[in-house]
Amino acid sequence: MVISILLICCYICYITRVIDFHRFQASSVDPGAKSWKKCNIPSHWSGGCSIVPHTRDNRYCMEEGLYIESNVRGLDLKTGVFTYKQIKAATDNFAESNKLGEGGFGSVYKGSLLDGTLIAVKQLSSKSKQGNREFVNEIGMITGIQHPNVVRLHGCCAEHNHLLLVYEYMENNSLAHALFDQDKSKMKIDWPTRQRICVGVARGLAFLHEETTLEMVHRDIKAANILLDTDFTPKISDFGLAKLNEKENTHISTRVAGTLGYMAPEYALWGYLTYKADVYSFGVLALEIVAGKNNMKYQPNEDYVSLLDLVKIF
């Protein structure tokens, strides 16, 4: 509990300079998605991407899928490569009863491999804003990473227009589900567990920032991207927007991507990206964990005081 209080106190000092991003509705920013489609198939994960005009032509989508498949299979991945047939069998043909959740990127299904291993399959929608660039980026960022507070990637599937990511199954879903869902009467998180979640996420971020070979900035730390196992151990997930740290530079100038309300002001306004952007997001997350309130539950037609405003008041 003491650690949680210290985290909140430090964070309060920082957010006094915060612009009221909570006035915006929660949404994921996907720059340039309306007029261009980015296809990032780099030979090195820190490399750039090719940009092609957006088209709805089915033949183009098929060719693009084949291109992704050949490049993914040609990489020296430290993870498995599954066939679409294997994933269909594991999820009982993506049965509705196995669906764990759904978002702008697509759907997540529970599955079981032949050896009995439970998995969570992220099926990227063909209309997903996350798209091919984030699919390949996520594989490159998380492959081979092993840490108690980072979700494990078992493998992937890239066959034609089928883009699937296979993760370890997390029994207690996401932190957002545990904290904010109305039907959460069966899930009680006591104070020691909340403290342990805060510390676990902090350790996971420290690992990503400083201890892994591919030092990175996650860019989308929020309750929905923190998964909980059967013991409520937190695990950071969703690396589609992660950026590698460029050690020769003091910061990364990049187009803004992430979730409004969790983004640091200097990043949201000017694209000035450092590890501090993740620390800011963690601060918002820590407030949500302690308060049990969603910072982004903004209701413009009602009298409403946001979580950040409440912290400023006190």
Q: Cα(298)–Cα(314) distance, rounded to whole angstroms?
A: 20
Residue 81 pairs in a beta bridge with 156
76, 115, 190, 220: which is the annotated catalytic residue? 220
- The type of residue at 224 is A
> Is 159:168 a contact under the CB 8 Å cutoff?
no
Q: Cα(287)–Cα(308) distance, rounded to whole angstroms?
A: 8
CA max distance for the chain = 58
Token readout for 114 is 């032949």
* Eight-state DSSP code of residue 17: T
* Eight-state DSSP code of residue 59: H
Q: Cα(80)–Cα(23) distance, rounded to whole angstroms?
A: 42
For residue 272, which of 228, 217, 230 has the smallest C-alpha distance? Answer: 217
> Is 253:266 a contact under the CB 8 Å cutoff?
no
| Three-class DSSP category at 272 | strand
Q: Cα(190)–Cα(221) distance, rounded to whole angstroms?
A: 22
Q: Is 220 a catalytic residue?
A: yes
Alpha helices in 153-210 (DSSP H): 175-180, 191-206
Residue 118 pairs in a beta bridge with 112
Token pair 């100038």: residue: 253
Confirm whether residue 188 is marked as ligand binding. Answer: no
- The type of residue at 163 is L
For the annotated binding site for ATP, the residues are 122
Task: Tell me the catalytic residues.
Answer: 220
Q: Which residues are annotated as a binding site?
A: 122
